[in-house]
Chain A
């Protein structure tokens, strides 16, 4: 049976951080909003009760909270000419599959990006010129600057209750914070958490080396806090079941605790769950979006007409929905023309893995983002002259894992992986292991893109999204440079055994252990319709009532995690819709 729902002012596809942030703004402004989410309803006190501790097997091992490949997966190849093959098993992209999206199980590092990250083209051209770019690199400004976004960063942090130590407030350096950060209009809502043993050793070593360590801002609430929507959040208990788990303690900012309890009280909000949107509908001339078509759990299709369509399904599905709906021009790698699927980026990770003697790291006392970082080699915070690359990484001592199955293979070099020798090595390694992550920038490249797979289909017979990605020369150079910095600090920390790794030295794989889940771009915002899908308000250049929000809008990835930027750009777009678009529907940027 097929059916049609009553028309709404706005339909939002996906109810993670970006969808729920947008829904809260638009319903508060009086609009009638319907959200359609593929996953099931989750409510913190029932779904993640504190009377019931999580366990590692069902959580980070069997990954029960994640979007399963059987529901939807992606095909991957490193370059044109190879055959892309599906990610058949749980992979590194660890997407969300419930109301709250990945925001329910994320790790919670809560970054504002650097002013550089929003205007990389302008900065690089001014400081170095085009000769600094490796062949094929795509570099473009976002059309929105850090200063434009500052009030929205501030607002999002106050929704999330972000904990941290400010580094720069109104242009003034603050002790203990990140001296390189863009100027803030105020301190973090809640104070930074206590540090782990590894974090302390890192801080001492980095200080001796002349760097500027600071606590990574996080979603782990630092003190009791009432957020901008009047919801009460509680301090984090360092329980160590954080990334890949829901937090039942109201301590990890998520849509589920920071937004949904308020949103669900609004009579002008309707949520439809366990329905997958199949496509965005448009008028025949593709000048306006008319709504969406979805399929419910019984295989019936429904139509949700709306005056405004907002897509908030994260990078990969945002791009896939655009391609499946035939909206805007798909990127063509041969000619370099077209925009949907273009400027796809990942994250360039480098590591130092280390072991100490006779330590008690007590790794089980952790949070998803218990980390201390230096930004001395991030963005354009250092002189790249002669280095042959742009960008860098946030280099951090990361204490986010202590669960034993996940650590059973982390052993000092040469240790047996089984037998009596394994037991001895694991016993020693568990308390003596520490790691430094270089979470690196990733810039787009002509040969990295997303399109529809010609062969593999989803459960409804529709093409999967195909990822064509490998690290480019800029990634390889920056990755090695950062790896060497990680190793230097690890040695200075007094580790007896240090190993370094730069993932960009090997072909990209969706299964590399310890890799990132941060894919970005594909439906980028920008200043020029020839190189972006949407304008600076994340409004489609061709269809003024279509907004695709989230990390798909970012034409480059920073040496940070993306979510606070997703939140800030969502709030920025919401304001443009409420203050400008509703009053005068049409393009918000005229060329």
Chain B
């Protein structure tokens, strides 16, 4: 029976004798006390993102977003830049998964623009925002400089992105400042999440700030290293798997 039918039926027609024990829905479970210890489903196995091929972005989109990311987190004496650190690979895989399709969001209508404190009301998914936003960004770069964003000088790129961030360079189909916020959030995620997601190569982001990664027991240090520098090579989940 479909959910809609249940609703239409008004939930009144109950078969009175059928026991749950002879009916087994897909996920719902009945656990009767005292019959054993039940194992839950373990978390999904660790898997490493494959950086050799794109799974959502087109090659052109990947180049473009990489150029933006390298302005947001550039290579310098503090460490490699975003693209080298794998942030585009990270993003590509995120967009192909449940995050990209906004699988957890409430997306029913009506869609109405609200007050700022009511939060984002748009129902465009992150994957759709990149598809549209990157095209818009390139379009705006052409309008401004008559060139692809890829061919701008570093200074021009910075000035241009400040315009996108502030909303002075606006897009037609989505808000440029919101797209900027999304890109900034995602590039930071890629630079700072566990390397198994495709970014943070060699734990460059963690080394930047001295985050030790997946260390599980600090009891020896909580007092002895209080207020002191901790020099330790960070650990990733992969290193421990």
Residues of A within 8 A of B (CB): 1-6, 27, 40-43, 46-50, 52-57, 61-63, 68-70, 73, 76-78, 82-83, 85-91, 194-197, 200, 235, 237-240, 249, 261, 263-275, 278-279, 293, 295-303, 359-362, 364-365, 402-405, 407-408, 417-420, 422-424, 426-427, 430-431, 455-457, 459-461, 506-511
Contact = CB atoms under 8 A, between A and B. Distances in A.
Contacts of B132: none
Q: Which of the listed residues B14, B39, B78, B118 has the most CB atoms from chain A within 10 Å of its own CB?
A: B118
Interface string B91-133: 0000000010001111110101011111111010000000000
Interface string B51-87: 0000000000000000000011110101100000000
B194 interface: yes
Contacts of A508: 117
| A-B pairs with lowest CB-CB distance, top 6 | A269-B33, A509-B117, A53-B214, A297-B27, A68-B104, A69-B106
Interface stretch (B142-150, B170-178, B225-233): B225-233
Contacts of A506: 117
Contacts of B41: 40, 46-47
Q: Which of the listed residues B108, B197, B217, B223 has the most CB atoms from chain A within 10 Å of its own CB?
A: B108
Contacts of A196: 222, 226
A296 B40 CA distance: 19
A461 B10 CA distance: 11
Given A55-B237, A365-B221, A40 B104 contact: no
Given A1-B18, A419-B71, A46 B33 contact: no
B39 A43 contact: yes
A41 B74 contact: no
Contact of A510 (B119, B196, B230): B119
B194 A197 contact: no
A267 B11 contact: no
B40 A300 contact: no
Contact of A42 (B25, B26, B40, B189): B40
Q: Which of the listed residues A76, A270, A298 has the most CB atoms from chain B within 10 Å of its own CB?
A: A298
B25 A296 contact: yes
B4 to A, nearest CB: 8
A426 B11 contact: no
Measured as residues with beta carbon below 8 angstroms from the partner, the interface class of chain B is 35 or more
Binding site secondary structure of chain A: loop
Given A299-B1, A419-B71, A427-B78, A274 B118 contact: no
A300 B73 contact: no
Contact of B73 (A89, A274, A423, A461): A423
Contacts of B216: 50, 53, 237, 239, 249
Contacts of A457: 108
Given A4-B16, A423-B73, A61 B189 contact: yes
A427 B117 contact: no
Contacts of A86: 106, 108, 121
11 contacts: A2-B13, A48-B43, A55-B237, A57-B193, A269-B33, A298-B26, A301-B14, A418-B161, A419-B71, A430-B210, A430-B211
A460 B170 CA distance: 38
Given A57-B197, A365-B221, A404-B211, A302 B20 contact: yes
A2 B115 CA distance: 43
A49 B43 CA distance: 9
B209 A404 contact: yes
B221 A405 contact: no
Contacts of B79: 423
Nearest to A98: B40
B20 A272 contact: yes
Given A41-B29, A300-B1, A362-B225, A419 B121 contact: no
Interface in B201-241: 205-206, 208-212, 214-219, 221-223, 225-230, 237, 240-241
